[in-house]
Every structure is written in structure tokens, then in C-alpha cells.
A and B are shown apart, each in its own frame.
Chain A
Amino acid sequence: MPKAFRTATGTTGLGLLLLVMGAATLGPLLAPYDPQAFHPAARLQGPSAAHWLGTDQFGRDLLSRLLNGAPSTVYFGLGATLLGVGAGSMIGVIAGTAGGWLDSVIMRILDGLLAVPELLFTLLIVTFLGGGMGQAMLAVAIAFTPGMARIARSSVLSIRTREYVLAAVARGERSHYIVLREVLPNAVGPIIVEATIRVAFAIMIGATLGFLGLGAQPPSTEWGLMVAEARQFMFRNAWTVAVPGVAIAMAAMGFNLFGDALRDSLDPRRSR
């Protein structure tokens, strides 16, 4: 294990990440109850032997709903980030490698898009896509693209002038060979670090959209939506909002901590 992960931050991050990813992958199988099943005799209860995290307004088991909603919450973040990182890196690498007028045009557009705050940008896109899980994911991905493109471009630029690239150019290699074999592998580090931290952010935005009624829709068990649906009952059973709320924070924290540890291990100078 890299040294950075042996710190308290790294271990906590890795632990949380494994927990969250485990829940997202196996959660629905582990749920003790059908997450949609009503238990009318057990409405809005606190934790008990039968319902470890309590129940919601229909008597649905909160633990089962939480486990069931893990994939749609966590994979949402991963999916949106992957899409955004993919599109962003591609644009960034193209701009950074091509240089010249194409680079300036792309950069001007990116600068402009970055002038719109991310959540606002996401909200605009998702409203006009019509709301829903897929639309929300696409919207977050689009909102992430300009930022990722900028990071990819700058890391390409810093590599472009390094010896091994200059050597490849001198060898007369074709440009796509240079991009694929020399530039991309070396630009990947900063992109991965940024992407990991972005997953945390994507999870938070996804949950926020669910909360605002623009992302996941009932009867989904997405965590942000769970908070929104339970808000009316928060004074009667605080568990209904606290359980999914804390889960979102834990998932985001796992990716944040893990991303920081990853950065430290790639860039030991920053490690402290």
C-alpha cells in the first residue's frame, strides 16, 4: 500500500470508500426487507431490533431503503464523473496537443462555460432535459466537462515540453501515436486525482437534484430523494432524514479523503 494510504486520512478514506462501494454493489442483496414494502403497523419508528434504522411514513424499512438506494446514489456520482472526465479529457488533450487557433477557440469557450457556476449550469440543463435520473447524470457530466478539459489541457501542456515527448517528435512519430503513447499516460495522474474528488461532488449534486425534485423520482430510493420525501416528517422521526443525509455525507467524504490520499501518493512533495 502506498505510504499516503497509511496515514489516518488515507485509511479512513479507503475504509469509507470500501464501505460505500460495497453498499453500492451488494447493498440491494443485503437489504433485510423489500425496500418498497409497507408495514402500516410500524410507521415512523426509531431504530429497533426489527428495523435497525427505523421506518418511514409508510413503515418502509429505512436500512433496506438505504442499501437499495446506494447504487443509484453512488454509481450516479461515478457515472456522471466518468462521462464528464471522458469528454473533458478528450477536449483538453485535443486542445493541448493541437495548440494554435483550435486551442484558443476551445479555451475561450471553456473559459466562458466556467463563468457559469456549476450548480446553476446543472440546474439549467436538467430542467430543460426534463428531470429524472439519466437526465441529471448527463447534466452533471456536461457541467463537469469544461473544468476537466482545463485540467487535462494544462497537464498535457506541461508534458509536451518534456524530453521524452520531444524525443518522440524528433523520432518523427505520428501525432496520434505521441498523444496515445507518450502524452496521455503521463497526464493521467492529475486527471484521476481530480476525478476522484469530483465523484464526491457529483454524489452531492446528484443528491441535491433528487432533493429538489429534478433528479431521481419516487419511488426511487436515491438518498437525496429520501431526504426530500421525509422532510415533512422530520420533526416526528428525525431518523428519516438523518439516515440518508449522513449516508450521503459519508459517501462524499470517502471519495474526498481517498482523492486527497491519492494526490499525496502521486505528488509526495505535497504530502504532509
Chain B
Amino acid sequence: MSFHKVPRRSALLVMALALAVPNLGAAQDDPKMGGTLKISHSTRIATLNVLSLSGPAEYPVIDMAYSGLTRIGPDSQPMPDLAESWEGSADATEFTFHLREGVTFHDGTPATASDVVATYEAILNPDIPASAASVLNMIDTVEAVDDLTVKFSLKTPFADFPTSTAHANARIMSEEALAGDHAMLDTVVNGTGPFKMESYDSARITRLVRNDDYFIEGKPYLDAVEMHLFPDLAAETTNFLSGDIDVMLLVQQADYERISSAPGVNALRVPSGRYVNVVMRFDQEPFNDLRVREALAYAIDRQLLVDLVLEGLGRPAHDNILSPEFKFRIDTPEKNYDPERAKALLAEAGHPDGLKLDLVASNRPAIRAQVAIAIKQMALPAGFDINVETMPHDTYLANVWRKGGFYMAYWGMQPTEDATFNLLLTSNASYEDTGWMNDEFDALVQACRSTTIESERADAYTKAQELMLAELPYIIAFYEDVLTASREHVQGYTLNPINRYFYLESVWLDE
């Protein structure tokens, strides 16, 4: 029972390996065919409805069973999936996708342009709950030019469109399934992906088997993939270490060291743009005052937060919502822990005796409350008297989420700058929750949509970030790494930092 410090050196090595894996991919050595890959996960696969699912363990299943028009590759760029190529008009308002020939759904029916049209019409239908709708709402019309060509017309120019079509909840379903009872989509899967559903038991095991007609010749290598549910993290870790399981989908920071140092295990640490953000409403006291927001920003020791809450498995952030993985991310000035400066800012803002505040955190996942409690402790010397109020997730969703004035949010990484800003920060962002509503920022983000010229986009995104850092809509203290682990005989397993794409068709077992 002694104090373990995370050994940085070995972790970095693993990181390097993680980055190298995509290149090794399938090609190196001769992949062996066959075998069953067992993956453990700790959250239920509650639904298989591609349109609306959002569970961490649900994404790998639909990534195996379905294909999108495009897909985000290990390099975070859009890559061909059901569409083998695409082109956009010069003004970025029209996009044409060319589908692969001879692709069939798992039930044998051919996958054609009309299925793509039906899928996108379902996503855009306001009567159908669809998570991808907010990312694809710039679509004006979608039409099948012929059996293998689909043309999208957009309401506004949008240069990143092929990234949007890779949205994890925008996979192509069959026209027939969409015309039927949508309740069936929850349990019945008919996709074009590398694996087809064999059995689905949301309480224990979901099993997929090889799709022999997959459109990439020779893939997948595995005969079957099983998803095993362990709702208790301790149980999941122990079972993985005992060798019963090949891949542990998500590793907790607290267990990472123990897992990575176990024999026969490859722990994978992928730097990601995942973050916990402190939401401060611009239209309520006291955060309507920039100086109060800045005071809080200087009252947080970001490196200590990474060490304590993430066990060192992340990087300190300085309130930029874009992590270093983003192409147009600017060098962000560091905010060092400075309680004196925070105190002075508070006094300037009219709170010389400090501020008493209630900070709300959902109790799921635990990281939200942990960050809140750490912030409370760190901000004490600066004069912030923060009372952390933790509550069950359902209560939080119903009463606080997008309503409260001061609370903890938690987001995964988005594929593009545009998707990130339009998720939260622009005035008409899908989940706008600060009341910032800055016209200049909106215009800059909009400007980037209509141009494909790199320098113009870099310029506008730079200005947008500078504006954001100056106005400080969120406090973002760190970027959290994505952690996963596999047994040594598992080859070609890799993760994308967005953590929505798993490339399991390229995995094989060296046994």
C-alpha cells in the first residue's frame, strides 16, 4: 500500500506506440485470419439505434456493423467508407459522393443511393430523434443522381462537409428498415459494416460475426467479436488482467499504471481533446463580469489537477476549447496558478471579501465532482468560497444542464474546429449554455465554413480563438487522454482520439 507515481517514461513509450500502430495497421506481417476478440466494457449497450444512441460501448458496435458515407480515419481526416470518393463545388455548397459498387446489407439487399437518401432524410426529420441532426442541419436537399451517386445541396457553404458525413450517428441504414417501425432499429441491425450482429443481450454479451461480403477484400480478419459487460470497474479490471478478455475498451486513470505494468498487456494512451469545462453564465451575477471569470481561471492549478484527478494521464489546458490535435489551434498563453492575482481581480470586480458560490456537478461520471472538489480547494486562497453540490445524473439533466449558472460539463473531442465551436460556443450552437452570444465570434466561425482556402481559415480561426480566450466563456483546465488496453496477441488495435471509430476490421489475433 504505498504511493505510486505514474511512471511517465513508460507511458510515453506507449503513446509513441499508439501513434505508430495506424501505420502498421493491417499491412505489416501477414495478418492471421480467424479467432474471436473479447472486448470488455462497463456501460450497457442499451440500444443499437444508430440515429440516437450515445453510449460509450454502443459506438464500437455500430462502428462494426454499419458504414457511413465517410469515416474519420486514425489520422483524424475523413476517409472513404461506403463512398469511395467525393467532390465539392468551389463555393462549398454542393457535394457529390460516389458509392462503392456491389455493396450489400447484411440481409443481402444491395446498398444504393436511395438508402443514403432515406438515411439522411430520417436524420433531418424533426419527428425522429437523431443526434447527428445538429451537425448536418446545413443540408438543404439530398438526392440520388443514380444508383451510385448522391448529391447534397447545402443551405450555407460548408467546407468540412465530408467530415460531418462521418458523424458516428450518421451511418447508412437500409431504406426498408427506415420505412418500417423505428422501434425495430433499437434491436435489429442491418448494416454494411465488417461484422454482422449474431446475438444481442444488453445485460451481458453482444456478439458479432464476420461479414463475408464486406466491401474491403480480405477484411475483417476476425471470425467474431464479443462485447462483454462488466458494470463494476474493479471486476472489469480484474477479469482483463486474468486473461479472460482481450481488449478493455476504456481504462480508468486509477487502474492505468497497474494495467500497463502487467505482463502480456499493451496499454494504449491516446492524447485527446476530451475536457471537463466549468460553465459560467454570462447573463447572471457574478460571472457576467469578465474579471470574476478571470479570477477563477487564475485560481486553478492546472498541472496539479492533471496529477491528482487524471493521475498525470492528460495535459494541462489553458481554457482553449481546441486541444493541440486541431490543425488551426493557436499557441495558447499559459495561465499559472496565481491566487494573489485572482484575489486582486475579484477585488477589482467589487468582491474584496471574496465570493460565495454554489458549483453543481453531476455524480456521473465521477470525474466531474472530482474536478469540482479540486477547484474548490485550489480556489480557497483566492477568496472563492465554493460549495460543491453533487447530484444524481437524472436530476442534473432535468434541472441544471443548460439551465444552471455555474456547473461542470464534460465533453468528448469533436472531429473539427467547426464542430467544436458549433457544439457549444456560437449563438446557435446545439448545446449553447453560457449565454455568450458573440456576433463577431459567430461571424468568424461562419466565415471558415464558406472557404476552403487554408490561409483564410487559419486567420479566422485564430481570431476566433483569441476572442474566446479574451472573453473566457469556459474554464478548461485539462485535456484528458483516452486510455484503453489490449493483450499482447491482439494486433492492429488502435483508437482515434475522438473515440467513436475503432477500426476493428483491421484487428487480428497472433495466437
Give the B-binding residues of A (Cβ under 8 A).
Answer: 36-38, 40, 42-46, 54, 57-58, 127, 130-132, 213-214, 217-219, 229, 231-239
B399's nearest neighbour on chain A, judged by CB, is A130
B393's nearest neighbour on chain A, judged by CB, is A213
Asked whether B184 is an interface residue with its Cβ less than 8 Å from the other chain, the reply is no
Q: Is the CB of A44 within 8 A of B377?
A: no
Q: Is the CB of A236 within 8 A of B254?
A: yes
CA distance A217 to B395 in the complex (A): 13
CA distance A58 to B364 in the complex (A): 19
Given A229-B366, A236-B1, 11 other A-B contacts at CB below 8 A?
A36-B373, A40-B307, A40-B308, A45-B1, A57-B254, A217-B369, A218-B361, A218-B369, A235-B234, A236-B258, A238-B1
Q: Is the CB of A236 within 8 A of B4?
A: yes
**Of residues A42, A127, A217, A234, which shows the largest number of chain B Cβ atoms within 10 Å of its Cβ?**
A217
Given known A37-B377, A218-B363, A235-B258, contact A46–B1 (CB-CB < 8 A): yes
Given known A42-B3, A44-B4, A57-B254, contact A217–B389 (CB-CB < 8 A): yes
Give the A-binding residues of B (Cβ under 8 A).
Answer: 1-4, 233-234, 252, 254-255, 258, 304, 307-308, 361, 363-364, 366, 369-370, 373-374, 376-377, 388-392, 395
Q: How far is the CB of B345 from chain A (nearest CB, A)?
A: 23
Which of B3, B233, B308, B363 is close to A58, meaning CB atoms less than 8 Å apart? Answer: B308
A216's nearest neighbour on chain B, judged by CB, is B390
Q: How far is the CB of B443 from chain A (nearest CB, A)?
A: 41
CA distance A8 to B169 in the complex (A): 66
Q: Chain A binding site: helix, strand, loop or mixed by DSSP?
A: loop
Q: Is the CB of B377 within 8 A of A38?
A: yes
Q: Is the CB of A130 within 8 A of B392?
A: yes
Q: Is the CB of B391 within 8 A of A36?
A: no
Q: Which residues of B contact A131 (CB under 8 A)?
A: 391-392, 395
Q: How far is the CB of A99 from chain B (nearest CB, A)?
A: 44
Between-chain CB contacts (< 8 Å), 18 pairs = A42-B3, A44-B1, A45-B3, A46-B1, A46-B2, A54-B1, A127-B392, A130-B392, A130-B395, A131-B392, A217-B369, A217-B390, A219-B369, A219-B390, A229-B366, A232-B234, A236-B4, A239-B1
Which of B234, B308, B366 is close to A38, meaning CB atoms less than 8 Å apart? Answer: B308
Q: Is the CB of A219 within 8 A of B373?
A: yes
Q: Which residues of B contact A213 (CB under 8 A)?
A: 363-364, 392
CA distance A167 to B364 in the complex (A): 63
B395's nearest neighbour on chain A, judged by CB, is A130
Q: How far is the CB of A64 from chain B (nearest CB, A)?
A: 14
Q: Which residues of A contact B395 (CB under 8 A)?
A: 130-131
Q: Is the CB of B233 within 8 A of A232?
A: yes
A36's nearest neighbour on chain B, judged by CB, is B377
Q: Which residues of A contact B1 (CB under 8 A)?
A: 44-46, 54, 236-239
The 5 closest A-B pairs by CB, nearest first: A217-B390, A131-B392, A232-B254, A46-B1, A218-B369
Which of B233, B304, B388 is close to A219, meaning CB atoms less than 8 Å apart? Answer: B388
CA distance A219 to B360 in the complex (A): 12
CA distance A42 to B364 in the complex (A): 27
CA distance A110 to B374 in the complex (A): 47
CA distance A16 to B415 in the complex (A): 59
CA distance A235 to B391 in the complex (A): 27
Q: Is the CB of A232 within 8 A of B363?
A: no
Q: Which residues of B contact A239 (CB under 8 A)?
A: 1
A214's nearest neighbour on chain B, judged by CB, is B392
CA distance A239 to B3 in the complex (A): 13
Q: Which residues of B contact A214 (CB under 8 A)?
A: 392
B253's nearest neighbour on chain A, judged by CB, is A232
Q: Is the CB of A218 within 8 A of B3?
A: no
CA distance A232 to B256 in the complex (A): 11
Q: Is the CB of B3 within 8 A of A44?
A: yes
Q: Which residues of A contact B390 (CB under 8 A)?
A: 217-219
Q: Which residues of A contact B308 (CB under 8 A)?
A: 38, 40, 43, 57-58
Q: Which residues of A contact B389 (CB under 8 A)?
A: 217
Q: How far is the CB of B483 from chain A (nearest CB, A)?
A: 13
Given known A232-B254, A233-B254, A236-B254, contact A43–B3 (CB-CB < 8 A): yes
Q: Which residues of A contact B234 (CB under 8 A)?
A: 231-232, 234-235
**Of residues B3, B252, B307, which shows the largest number of chain A Cβ atoms within 10 Å of its Cβ?**
B3
CA distance A229 to B374 in the complex (A): 14
Q: Is the CB of A232 within 8 A of B392?
A: no
